[in-house]
Every structure is written in structure tokens, then in C-alpha cells.
């Protein structure tokens, strides 16, 4: 007797960027899926996108519309989306209106019509939009329709599964209704929601249930654009393939700084450069990028506080032509400033740029701009957002340099925001001090993991050619007070020396 082959449930790729990863590989073939959420949450767009990605004339998709949005309006607006290939309507995607059957209140007639159409067309996909309105019109007075709906959905699920159809039921539900009996029938439940926080809105998707798959937990942000839906999965660091760190050091491009750091920045590190306004953080970061380009590397700069054009104009002080580097696909300057981004969208944007140019250096300029660009709901948990962003980037092996503005760089002996320093390997601190009645810029290496780095403060200057490190202030005392004194004068007891 031969052993029967094990049943393999095939994946259906959704065609929605990011969604297959969230679902644990895609949808199960012949699954019965509920797509639920409030009106305007993107349910219809999601299902259309899946259908246009998969349906063929031989194995079409049937899209049953019931009561609610008129089909003409549905077609009028949905065809504006890039994935909506109108030449495939109705050969591959057919829209069938069930309003007459639904309005008559005869659920058996509705079911019979669906089955008849399925039987005639042999579709691979079926959607009913919206299944809740089918019962809303037929329910008995005083009833909430729950039992009738569950019964209808159960019968529909049995029919569609038997016909080997991957099906989608679209319905308006709120999270408070998540225990509705209809949900027990589904193989997959996708909740779409919209968070409103102050003036920003963030769309989120949650896989509430998947049979036979291990979905990615949590709420995943998504965006609806003219291209359709794009999901930005939460990417825990450990789920990404980690790249082993190279035992090399990267030149910073700032004369004198490599010597202070013990030979350059260890490749794969996360470097934090903090300082007050005007201290030259962007200049240092730009030189770090230019040096990488000179050394044959590729780089990504994520700017938040100025337009890329302005950044590139200011970068003309370095000897490397950033414009040419962009044309040669060795440099990408991403501009992220919409004020309602999720950290996952930012990560996707930066990661995409890293992949596109094959970057080994990433500059985030600046963290305060990054924080402001986040939707308020993410700003509230900035530490976690930053941890996820940096963790995902460094897991791929890139070296990340972040700038951060501090108002008082040394209040009570702290050199950085404590919310930031926990994720960094290396910390460089810039500050102003007064020496002989002049404002002087100084820098110290506070932390350089695994390195024999300098511990003194050193002056630096911002010249027309960029930042240049200068002399050590090792003969001064009290530098962190901002008003240092020459050590010899202090010893001699001369006040204010």
C-alpha cells in the first residue's frame, strides 16, 4: 500500500507589499477570509488588490456587491488605483450586483445566486461586499441579526470551500464587536483600523486569526496611495537575517577624529553625535558620508530637517560631488517629513534606499527631526521606535551615524539624552566652551565600544573645507562647566585664569 501524499496547503500571494510577511507567507488557498473594519478603512481596496494580482480569465474573481456603495461609484473610484487594470473587467474580475436578492430579504435566494454564479464561472476568488448588509435587510424586528448572519456565513463558507474558492467577506465591524459569532467561521480575520491622534491619522492592520499559518503579531501600519495598499510589517530585530560585523574601522573623514576614536568607527556600530545648535553635527555627518564614498562605499542619508536640495547644496563643501554619486546609485538622500509616519514606514523607506544603493553607511540627520516626523502615537514611545529602527538597520550590517541636538550638552554630567544612548555603541559629544572670552567648539569621545579612544576634549574648527580637529584641551580644567580654566593657573590659585 502506498503512503498517501501529505496535504499541502498552497500560499496565495496577496500582491499587497508587506502583507504576505505579516500573514506568515500569504493567504491559504481556498481559505475563507473576513476583512473587517470601519467604513473607509481600506477593505475594498485590499480585496481588489488581491483579486487583480491573482485572477485570470480561466480562474476569475467574482466580486459580489450588495447594498451600500453603488457599483458604478465603486468602479469609478477604484479604477483610479494603479493596480486596477480595467481591461481585465469583466473577463478576469467580474462585478455582480446582489442588491435585488438582498433587498428582498431572502437569504436563501442570495446564497443560491452566489452558488449559481460560482458554479457557472468556476472562480478562484469570491468576495462579498458587504456581507453584513445582506442580513441587515432581512433580520427580524428586534433581532441584531447575529444568528441569521452566522448561519448565512456558515453556509456560504461551506459552499465556497467545496468549490475550491479563496473567498473574502467584507464587513463593517468595530473592535467592540470582535466576539460576534460570525468570526468563528473564518480561517483568517484581518482588522483594518485608523488611529486618530491629535492632527494625525495612522492606518493599522492586525491579523486577528489565521488558521495554518504563523502570522506576525501586533499592529502593522499601512498606507493607501494611488498604488493601492502597502503594509509596513513590524520587524523585530531577531526576525531579520543578521549580518556578522566586520572587524574593520571606518574613516570618519574629519581630520584628527580617527586618531581620537582609536582608528575610526568600528564597522557596524551605531554612532551618536550630539551637540548644541550650530556645533557642526551635519558637517561631521556629511564628511562621514563623503569619506565612505571616497572609500568606494555606498551611503544613505535620511534628512528630516531640510529638503534634499538644501542638504545637497550645503554638502558642496566636501570634495565629493554628491549629485554625481546619486546619479551613480552610490548615494541616496531620503527626505522623510510628513509628520504622520510610522516607524515602520520610515524603516521601509530607509531600508529600501539601503538595498537600492547597497549602502554600508547610513546617516540619520537628525533624531529630533525623526521624532517630529513620527505620528504622535509613535512619538509617545520614541525609545521603542528608535530601538526598532536602529536594530533593523544594524542587523543588516550597516554603520549608522545619528545626530542629535541637545540644548545643554552637559546638564548634571549627562552627555546625551538617556532615551537615546542605550542603543548606541559609540557617543561623540560636541559642546561650546568659553576660553579667553571666545566661544570655542570642543569634542570628546564619551564612548567607543571596544576601542582605545581618547578621553580628552579637543577643539575643532568648521572651515570652508569642513570640520578639522585641533589641539587637546588637556591643560584645562572644568571644561564641562563651559568655562574652563588653565590647569597651571588653577594650581597657582589665580581666579578666573
What residues line the site for other proteins (CB under 8 A)? 57-58, 65, 70-72, 75-76, 79, 86-87, 89-91, 94-100, 119, 121-122
Paired sense of beta strands 200-210 and 93-97, if any: unpaired
Output 85 or 384, the one with its CB closest to other proteins: 85
Identify the residue whose cell numbers are 442570495. Answer: 110
CB 426 within 8 A of CB 449: yes
CB of 83 to other proteins, least distance (A): 15
Q: Minimum distance between the CB of residue 93 and other proteins, rounded to whole angstroms?
A: 10
- Determine the Cα–Cα distance for residues 308 and 450; give it in Å rounded to an integer: 35
Grid coordinates in use for 142?
A: 428586534
Q: How far is the CB of 87 from other proteins (least distance, A)?
A: 6
The residue among 122 and 338 lying less far from other proteins, judged by its C-beta, is 122
Spatial distance between the Cα atoms of 81 and 403, rounded to a whole number of angstroms: 39
> Shortest Cβ distance from residue 131 to other proteins (Å)?
16
CB of 226 to other proteins, least distance (A): 16
For residues 24 and 5, what is the distance between their CA atoms, to the nearest angstrom? Answer: 23
Nearer to other proteins, 121 or 219 (CB): 121
- The alpha-helical segments, DSSP class H, found in 98-177 are 99-103, 107-121, 131-136, 146-162
Beta strand 249-250 with 265-266: parallel, antiparallel or unpaired? antiparallel
- For other proteins, give the closer residue by CB, 100 or 196: 100
**Assigned C-alpha cell, 244:** 556578522
Name the residue nearer to other proteins (CB basis): 113 or 477: 113
**Which CB atom, from 17 or from 123, has the smaller least distance to other proteins?**
123
CA dist., res. 150 & res. 143, Å (int): 13
Q: Give the whole-angstrom CA distance, residue 307 versus residue 336.
A: 9
Beta carbon nearer to other proteins, 122 or 217 = 122
- Tell me the closest approach of the beta carbon of residue 118 to other proteins, in angstroms: 10
Write the CB contacts of 187 (distance below 8 Å, at least 6 apart in sequence). Answer: 28, 31, 32, 33, 209, 210, 211, 212
List the 426-435 sheet strands across, edge first. 331-335, 299-303, 361-365, 399-405, 270-275, 426-435, 438-448, 458-463, 466-472
CB of 59 to other proteins, least distance (A): 8
Amino acid at each position: 500500500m502506498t503512503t498517501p501524499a501529505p496535504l499541502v496547503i498552497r500560499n496565495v500571494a496577496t500582491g499587497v507589499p508587506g502583507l504576505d510577511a505579516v500573514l506568515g507567507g500569504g493567504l491559504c488557498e481556498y481559505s475563507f477570509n473576513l476583512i473587517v473594519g470601519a467604513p473607509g478603512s481600506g477593505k475594498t481596496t485590499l480585496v481588489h488588490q488581491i483579486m487583480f494580482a491573482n485572477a485570470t480569465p480561466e480562474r476569475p474573481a467574482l466580486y459580489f456587491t450588495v447594498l451600500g456603495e453603488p457599483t458604478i461609484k465603486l468602479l469609478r473610484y477604484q479604477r483610479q488605483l494603479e493596480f486596477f487594470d480595467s481591461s481585465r473587467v469583466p473577463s478576469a474580475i467580474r462585478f455582480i450586483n446582489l442588491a435585488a436578492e438582498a433587498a428582498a430579504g431572502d437569504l436563501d435566494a442570495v446564497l443560491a445566486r452566489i452558488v449559481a454564479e460560482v458554479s457557472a464561472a468556476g472562480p478562484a476568488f469570491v468576495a462579498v461586499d458587504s456581507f453584513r448588509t445582506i442580513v441587515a435587510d432581512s433580520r427580524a424586528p428586534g433581532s441584531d441579526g447575529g444568528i441569521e448572519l452566522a448561519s448565512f456565513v456558515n453556509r456560504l463558507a461551506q459552499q465556497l470551500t467545496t468549490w475550491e474558492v479563496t473567498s473574502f467577506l467584507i464587513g463593517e465591524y468595530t473592535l467592540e464587536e470582535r466576539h460576534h459569532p460570525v468570526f468563528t467561521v473564518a480561517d483568517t480575520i484581518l482588522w483594518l483600523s485608523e488611529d486618530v491622534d491629535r492632527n494625525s491619522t495612522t492606518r493599522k492592520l492586525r491579523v486577528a486569526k489565521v488558521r495554518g499559518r504563523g502570522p506576525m503579531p501586533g499592529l502593522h501600519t499601512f498606507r493607501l496611495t494611488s498604488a493601492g495598499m502597502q503594509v509596513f510589517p513590524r520587524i523585530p530585530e531577531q526576525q531579520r537575517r543578521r549580518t556578522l560585523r566586520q572587524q574593520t574601522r571606518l574613516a570618519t573623514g574629519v581630520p584628527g577624529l580617527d586618531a581620537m576614536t582609536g582608528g575610526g568607527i568600528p564597522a557596524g556600530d551605531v554612532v551618536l553625535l550630539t551637540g548644541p545648535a550650530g556645533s557642526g553635527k551635519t558637517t561631521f555627518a556629511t564628511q562621514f558620508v563623503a569619506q565612505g564614498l571616497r572609500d568606494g562605499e555606498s551611503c544613505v542619508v535620511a534628512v528630516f530637517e531640510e529638503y534634499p536640495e538644501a542638504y545637497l547644496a550645503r554638502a558642496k563643501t566636501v570634495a565629493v560631488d554628491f549629485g554625481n554619486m546619486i546619479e551613480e546609485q552610490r548615494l541616496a538622500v531620503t527626505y522623510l517629513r510628513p509628520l504622520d509616519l510610522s516607524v515602520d514606514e520610515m524603516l521601509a523607506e530607509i531600508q529600501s534606499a539601503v538595498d537600492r544603493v547597497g549602502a554600508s553607511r547610513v546617516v540619520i540627520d537628525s533624531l529630533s527631526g525623526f521624532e517630529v516626523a513620527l505620528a504622535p502615537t509613535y512619538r509617545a514611545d520614541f525609545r521603542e521606535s528608535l530601538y526598532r529602527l536602529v536594530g533593523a538597520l544594524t542587523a543588516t550590517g550597516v554603520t549608522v551615524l545619528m545626530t542629535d541636538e541637545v540644548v545643554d550638552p552637559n546638564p548634571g554630567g549627562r552627555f546625551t539624552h538617556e532615551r537615546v544612548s542605550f542603543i548606541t555603541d559609540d557617543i561623540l559629544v560636541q559642546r561650546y566652551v568659553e576660553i579667553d572670552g571666545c566661544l570655542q567648539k570642543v569634542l570628546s569621545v564619551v564612548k567607543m565600544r571596544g576601542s582605545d579612544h581618547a578621553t580628552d576634549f579637543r577643539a575643532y574648527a568648521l572651515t570652508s573645507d569642513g570640520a578639522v580637529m585641533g589641539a587637546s584641551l588637556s591643560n584645562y580644567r572644568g571644561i564641562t562647566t563651559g568655562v574652563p580654566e588653565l590647569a597651571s593657573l588653577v594650581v597657582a590659585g589665580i581666579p578666573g585664569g
